[in-house]
Amino acid sequence: MLPREVMGILALGILWVNTLLIAAMALKESGKLARLRSSLGNVGRGRVLSGDGPQGALFAFEVTQRGRLGASLPPRILFHDRAHSQVVYGGSVALQDGRHIAIPSGSNLEIWIDDASFQDAARCPSDAAFAGASAEARTARGYERKVSAAISVDQEVFVQTPPDAEMPIGARPIVATLDPRAWLSTRVAFARAFALGELTLAGVCTFLSLHAPRFGVVSTIGGAASLVFFLMVQPAGALVRDALRIPSLALRTSVWTRGRRGAGLRERARFTRT
């Protein structure tokens, strides 16, 4: 016979191995972001002074998406990413400290676009556009489009700058519509908080499970909580991992909803496509 105590130790062992692995994964990702944060150096805040692209665009982050008609009402087209690309048209940025940064066309930049800018670019432009797209979206192949989030003259940007205000040769400096230092710091704190919270919850579940009398009412509640925790911490860990993806790698799903022009769009980070 396998005594309940032995099986209990086995079950708690399984719980803790996986809890620690998920916490380790979150801390590992946060470590990468912390290293990136510390390697950023100077990040200048400024505005786009000139852009050589369409409508004075300095650069654009492009996402090829495929949309398919959703099953539920109201009619919706559910988009997912197929490929990311970027175009650097070239231009210049005036930093708040008075320096000007020249960005040549085709520069090898790491472009980070904030959620709101991407949402603006991904919105359904009209009911007619929805109707046109939905015909293709109901086919197996789906409706393919390219969302181009362009950053143009007078828009605020953050530029990773060297001391001499020239783009380093061979480096891949970050140019962002959000403050990369703040974004990285927030994500690092979030990952650490998740790991701490996860370990605390596992500790609470373990404490309850081991409550005397063993296998009594409180202990059974602890066992049930441990099972629920084990099943839920895995998707939670996956969500955290997705939230820690840097903006240039985060996949951005979006939704068009008929009759809700400019609305009904949501964005979230999932998976990575490098």
Alpha-carbon distance of 134 to 136, in angstroms, equals 5
Q: Are 258 and 75 in contact (CB under 8 A)?
A: yes
Task: Please identify which residue in 36, 40, 80, 248 interacts with other proteins, judged by CB under 8 A.
Answer: 80
Q: Which residues contact 91 (CB under 8 A, 6 or more apart)?
A: 48, 49, 50, 51, 52, 53, 56, 58, 103, 153
Out of 72, 163, 164, 212, the residue judged to bind other proteins by CB under 8 A: 72
Does residue 21 touch other proteins according to CB under 8 A? yes
Nearest Cα residue to 256 out of 44, 8, 79: 79
**Separation in Å, CA 254 to CA 130, 138, 263, 266:** 13, 16, 11, 5
User: Is position 28 an interface residue for other proteins (rule: CB under 8 A)?
Assistant: yes
| Minimum distance, C-beta of residue 161 to other proteins, in the bound complex (Å) | 31
Residues constituting the chain: 274
Q: Is 83 in the site for other proteins (CB under 8 A)?
A: yes
Question: Which two tokens mark 258?
Answer: 């008929």
Which C-beta is closer to other proteins: that of 135 or that of 171?
135
In contact, 157 and 93? CB cutoff 8 Å: yes
Cβ proximity to other proteins: between 77 and 101 the closer is 77
Of the pair 141, 164, the CB lying nearest other proteins is at 141
CB of 271 to other proteins, least distance (A): 5
Binding status of residue 18 toward other proteins by CB under 8 A: yes
Does 258 bind other proteins (CB under 8 A)? Our answer is no
| Rounded Cα–Cα distance for residues 246 and 115 (Å) | 12
Query: Cα separation of 89 and 52, whole Å?
Result: 5
Tell me how many residues contact other proteins (CB under 8 A). 45
- Is there binding between residue 202 and other proteins (CB under 8 A)? no
Which of 241, 246, 257, 269 touches other proteins (CB under 8 A)?
Answer: 241
Q: Which of 35, 47, 138, 266 touches other proteins (CB under 8 A)?
A: 138
Q: How far apart are CA 46 and CA 51, in angstroms?
A: 14
Q: Applying CB under 8 A, which residues contact other proteins? A: 1-2, 4, 7-8, 10-11, 14, 17-18, 21-22, 24-25, 28, 64, 66, 68-72, 78, 80-83, 138, 142, 215, 220, 223-224, 227, 234-235, 237-239, 241, 251, 270-273
